Amino acid sequence: MSTIIPVGYKSLLSIYDTQKAISLLKRLFEDRLAALLSLYRVSAPLFVEENSGINDNLNGVERPVSFDILRSDKRAEVVHSLAKWKRLALKRYGFFPGRGIYTDMDAIRRDEDVLDNLHSVYVDQWDWEKIILPENRNLDYLKSVVMDIVEAVCDTQDTLQAIYPQLQRLKKLDRKVTFIGSQELEDMYPGLTPKERERRFTRENGTVFIIGIGGALRSGKPHDGRAPDYDDWDLNGDILFYDEVLDQEIEISSMGIRVNEESLDRQLTIAGCDDRRELPYHRMLLNGELPLTIGGGIGQSRVSMLLLGKAHIGEVQASIWDDETLAACERAGIMLL
């Protein structure tokens, strides 16, 4: 069974207080994130045109949910994420360096191969994107943005624990971020899988950012899959927090400095995706017509799990679960929304 039920687990909040806390959490975090990163809230699409090249291809094998449109010859597909759409929006809206946007993103991951405590076919996240200058395309700038996001999460936890004293039973998240390269991590734990390395390192360090995801390591395999046409594989990474309830890492964000013409050209070739060069979005990028940006997604349900001390993502979001998961949670007294 994929679902883990921690021994003696009991929700710290009632179902009603949980719903109230989620609403408050989202408002608090959005305001703090927007202030720290100079972001403005915008509306975003639930679906995009199938042949636009705007949808996130994730690992390249996941199938988007698609549908035809009455009285139109176009087909649409539900977004996997808004990684590319946001960059186009920044150009269309006339933003300038140092400013950006954030939005609510809802997606369906129909090919999610494991449904467990952290994974659902429904994805809800804050998608954000910010215009940067050429001199910002470096690791120091990436790290500074990561620390701002961690600060926003920790500040939100502080406020929630002041309002809901029950949550003070949870340890404070570590505000200090430990940065490590994916190759360093492989060298440190060569006998472990990437996920096992993440778990070991996060248990030891609390709050972690793993740098460099998508390109092959010396083992010949990448730390994790990443589409070749939004993040620069040398300037991206994942934010992970240690979660005491599950005694494991929770990845709350995949983010990075986005590809420029050179890195897109290189990564499309490495990934065997040269056919994408003719798509409208990719032609604009290769022609230097889009702004340089940094951006990412921050999982709303995962942040809610982490800050509210929940054991299963279904306690903070409504989705569809297999019968085994439903039975296990019912036996443990875990209320799935």
- Pick the catalytic residue from 77, 232, 238, 315: 238
Mean of pLDDT over the chain: 90
Q: Is 297 exposed, middle or buried (0-12, 13-18, 19+ CB in 10 A)?
A: buried
In this prediction, residue 58 carries a pLDDT of: 64
Q: How far apart are CA 71 and CA 68, in angstroms?
A: 9
pLDDT at 59 over 70: no
Per-residue pLDDT at 188:
95
Question: Any idea which of 14-23, 70-79, 182-191, 206-215 has the lowest mean pLDDT?
Answer: 70-79
Q: Could you say which of 56, 229, 231, 315 is catalytic?
A: 56
Q: Classify the C-alpha dihedral 304-300-138-92 as positive or negative.
A: negative
Sheet of 178-181: strand order equals 39-41, 100-108, 122-131, 293-299, 248-258, 231-243, 207-211, 178-181
What contacts 303, CB < 8 A, 6 or more positions away? 25, 29, 153, 156, 252
pLDDT digits (tens, 9 = 90+) for 70-95: 777 888 888 877 888 898 899 999 99
As a whole-number percent, the residues of the chain with pLDDT over 90 amount to 61
Confidence at residue 130, expressed as pLDDT on a 0 to 100 scale: 96
Most confident of 41-55, 135-149, 217-231: 135-149
Task: State the average pLDDT over residues 219-236.
Answer: 91
What tokens does 246 get? 């599950």
pLDDT value of residue 57: 65
Q: Where are the beta strands (DSSP E) in 52-206?
A: 66-68, 75-78, 100-108, 122-131, 178-181
**Does the structure show a pLDDT above 60 at 1?**
no
End-to-end CA distance of the chain: 20
Query: Do the Cβ atoms of 257 and 132 come closer than 8 Å?
Result: yes
Phi, psi torsion values for 241, nearest 5 degrees: -115, 145
pLDDT for 36 beyond 90: yes
Angstrom distance (rounded) from CA 83 to CA 169: 36
Which one of 81, 120, 125, 319 is the catalytic residue?
A: 125
| Active-site residue flag, 204 | no
**Annotated catalytic residue, options 32, 81, 87, 109:** 109
The share of the chain scoring above pLDDT 70, in percent, equals: 97
Q: Say which of 127, 198, 249, 251 is annotated catalytic.
A: 251
- Is 281 in a helix, a strand, or coil? helix
Lowest-confidence pick of 37-41, 83-87, 149-153, 229-233: 83-87
Among the listed residues 316, 335, 337, the one whose alpha carbon sits nearest the alpha carbon of residue 23: 316
Residue 118 has a pLDDT of 83
- What residues are paired with 104 via a beta bridge? 126
Q: What is the per-residue pLDDT for 3?
A: 80
Residue 254 is among the residues annotated as catalytic for this protein: yes
109 noted as active-site residue:
yes
Distance CA 254, CA 209 (A): 10
Convert the pLDDT of each residue in 100-121 to its tens digit: 999 988 888 777 777 788 888 8
Of 81, 182, 253, 254, catalytic: 254
The structure tokens 């409504």 sit at 318
131: tokens are: 């215009």
DSSP conformational letter for 38: T
Helix (H, G, I), strand (E, B) or coil at 202: helix
Q: What are phi and psi of 123, to 5 degrees?
A: -120, 130
Decide if 99 contacts 133 (C-beta within 8 A).
Answer: no
By 3-state DSSP, what share of the chain in percent is helix, strand and coil, each rounded to 5? 40, 20, 40
Give catalytic status of residue 200 as yes or no: no
177 — pLDDT class (breaks 50, 70, 90): very high
Handedness of CA 31, 36, 42, 46 (dihedral sign): negative
User: Between β-strands 100-108 and 39-41, what pairing exists: parallel, antiparallel or unpaired?
Assistant: parallel
Please give the domain boundaries of the chain with CATH numbers for all domains: 15-174+243-254+265-331 (3.30.930.10)
- pLDDT digit string (tens) for 310-324? 998 888 988 888 888
Under the banding of pLDDT at 50, 70 and 90, the label for residue 68 is confident
